Amino acid sequence: MTTQHIDKLAGVPCETHAQSEGRPLRIGDGFEAQSYQHAEFSGLMDPLIMVDHFTMTKPTFGTHAHAGLSAVTVLFEDSEGAFHNRDSLGNDLDLAPGDLYWFKAARGALHNEETRPGARTHALQVFVNLGAEHRHDEPSAFHVAAADIPQLTGDRATARLVLGEAGGFRGAVAPDNPLTLLDIDIKAGGQFTHNGRKDHYAWIIAIKGASRVTWNTGSANLRPGKAIAFADATNISFSSEEGAHVVLFRGQPLRQAFVQRGPYAMGTAEELDAVEAAYRSGRLGSLD
């Protein structure tokens, strides 16, 4: 949805955790976001490339292309009204509060998301990297309605299992590479613990309220806007004295080099040039 730079990432991180408060982003009078980029997290955001925590009240971006990645939209339950989603695969639907839409652009496809009149969309827009063997796949997409998302319970805490497996439950399955997504609400004095695989990286963003996250080798205080990433964790616990809303992504790192240019990510700049040429010539389809 956003970002207009070229960046590259490869290899194994030399640090075990990293944190950032991102950067503010405003477009017109209908879009505000805090944007987080993989380069800010010493490789520990892998397989995520970018996350925008945004509020949209007016159509902002228009029809645009994606390629070499999946563009994932996660609506929070406090969104109001409908978020109209269309793509060149023929999908045309309204996302409701709490829904997820996974758009695997792969070799290239067109996308458009905009608020319906009077709506206020509070959400995350996430760019998920694709392994080199999947960057030229056929595009695909799926929608998960809020009513179909399992809910886990902790001590005065609940978590929506938007993707992946946790606590003996299974949510929607991310294509190609394992990814767990937990949307966690902690009441005052509450606690929630997630147990997962040590070889999966964790990336956490604090949405609302003050909380504390603790994992096998460390801990950190979280406040709204702060994001943290770390490796080598099995148990991850959250607690809050006043109540908080946090989101946890936990995924298998790809550890593959890629080059990003705005809404595209490919292995080389030449591949990016080819995608842009395909877009200009109309070979990525249309929304008509």
* Residue 16: predicted pLDDT: 84
Euclidean distance between CA atoms 267 and 147, whole angstroms:
38
Ranges under pLDDT 50 in the chain: 1-6, 10
Q: Which residues pair with 8 in a beta bridge?
A: 259
CB atoms within 10 A of CB 166: 20
What pLDDT was estimated at residue 13? 62
CA–CA distance, 113 with 269 (Å, rounded to integer): 27
- Domain at 23-148: CATH code: 2.60.120.10
Residue 64 annotated as part of some ligand binding site: yes
Residues 128, 143: Cα–Cα separation, whole Å: 16
Its pTM stands at 0.94
Residues of the chain with CATH 2.60.120.10: 23-148, 150-256
Contact (CB, 8 A) for 208 and 245: yes
245 is in an annotated binding site: no
Would you say 111 is a known binding-site residue?
A: yes
134 is in an annotated binding site: no
H/E/C letters for each residue in the chain?
Answer: CCCCCEEEECCCCCCCEEEECCEEEEECCCEEEEEEEHHHHCCCCCCEEEEEEEEECCCCCCCEEEECEEEEEEECCCCECCEEEEECCCCEEEECCCCEEEEECCCCEEEEEEECCCCEEEEEEEEEECCHHHCCCCCEEEEECHHHCCEEECEEEEEEEEECEECCEECECCCCCCEEEEEEEEEEEEEEEEECCCCCEEEEEEEECCEEEEECCEEEEECCCCEEEECCCCEEEEEECCCEEEEEEEECCCCCCEEEECCEEECCHHHHHHHHHHHHCCCCCCCC
Please name the fold of domain 150-256.
Jelly Rolls (2.60.120)
